[in-house]
Amino acid sequence: MCKNEYRSREVRKILAYTDQPIEQGDEDEDSLDDILQMKQFGSCLQEELHQLNEIHREVIILRYQEELSIKEISQVMACTEGTVKSRIFYALKKLAACLKAFKPEH
């Protein structure tokens, strides 16, 4: 549960960066590079979301942008919770494959 919440927060942060203009101020160059990379990742993520089929895109939006629970999503989409989990898994798998170039180097 904790891991899922962390991932949700990270996705929301990334989506928030795509809507904000870049402002140059007191931030150092490394910080600016991080912001630029995050904006680039966010725009690629948005593009890849649009590439997903409608069912997978809808389940990702409901889960990570609208912050609905699995149970709530199953009610909205009129399917079982297992189906919702499966759709989330395969949608994230497709997104991860497309966005693997942005994997952090640790």
Domain boundaries, the chain: 2-18+32-102
2-18+32-102 placed in CATH 1.10.10.10:
yes
Cα separation of 41 and 67, whole Å?
21
> What is the pTM assigned to this prediction?
0.65
Cα–Cα distance list, 69 to 4, 16, 20, 73, 84 (Å): 11, 20, 27, 6, 10
CB-count burial class (<10 Å; 0-12, 13-18, 19+) for 60: buried
The pLDDT assigned to 33 comes to 78
Confidence band for 10, pLDDT divided at 50, 70 and 90:
low
Cα separation of 43 and 49, whole Å?
10
Average pLDDT of the residues in 10-20 = 55
